[in-house]
Amino acid sequence: MCQEVVMQYEQFFRLGRSTSQEVRLHTIPAIPFHTIDLQDSIMKNSVTTAAVAAQCLLVFASVLPRQDSAYAGYLISTFSDPEPSVQQYLSKGNDPGAYTFLNDGKPILDSTVGTGGVRDIYLTHNGDRSQWYLLATDLDINAPGFNWDIATRNGSQSLVIWSSSNLVDWSDAVLTTVETPTAGMTWAPSAV
């Protein structure tokens, strides 16, 4: 079904474009942004169909060919429940299956804001890789008097954010509110 919908919409977009609204679809890091102009009638009458087509386009998008690069390995930024801090592991060379602890296995960053704990670490950078950002959920699930029910209903509406220009020296943690007070918990950040 997806393939049929994608073919219909590809034909539609080739035949008649409108400047009524532009939709940007981001798939996965290996696939580029796609820009599609939607005609006014689709925006008014077939939002659901357009959404299905958009989802299908994500499934059938072409993956870019692998780029030659000077990358020498992999970096994992993560956490563990008993230690709600940022931990990092570096691959042994270009082997994605073999890692060593950084900082002798101790956390590289501890949150000094919000709940004092972090999880769901997300590492990203700006376009030219001159600035790196670590985003994390503001949550210490093991704090006294805290549990998953309380976190879900009344947890932090903020993310903890650090920045660095070299992946070694990090700024102080910043607590950034991204939800309204009635939204419950803010979880698992990511960025584009």
**What's the pLDDT tens digit per position in 142-184?**
999 889 999 999 999 999 999 999 999 999 999 999 999 888 8
Residue 120 Cα distances to 17, 62, 127, 165, 189, angstroms: 40, 29, 23, 21, 7
Task: Compute the distance between CA of residue 131 and CA of residue 177 in angstroms, rounded to an integer.
Answer: 21
Half-sphere exposure of 11 (CA within 13 A, CB side): 5
Over the stretch 5-62, which tens digit does the pLDDT of each residue have?
A: 444 444 433 444 333 333 333 333 333 333 333 333 333 333 334 444 444 444 444 5
DSSP reduced 3-state for 117: coil
Full domain range(s) for residue 27: 2-60
Q: Give, as one character, the DSSP assignment of residue 188.
A: -
Could you tell me where the DSSP H helices lie in the chain? Answer: 2-15, 40-45, 47-60, 148-154
Over the stretch 99-119, which tens digit does the pLDDT of each residue have?
A: 999 999 899 999 999 999 999
| Domain membership flag for residue 186 | no
At 94 the pLDDT is 84
Q: Does 128 have pLDDT greater than 60?
A: yes
| Domain membership flag for residue 172 | yes
| Domain membership flag for residue 182 | no
Note the Cα 1 to chain centre separation in Å. 28
100 and 44 in a common domain? no
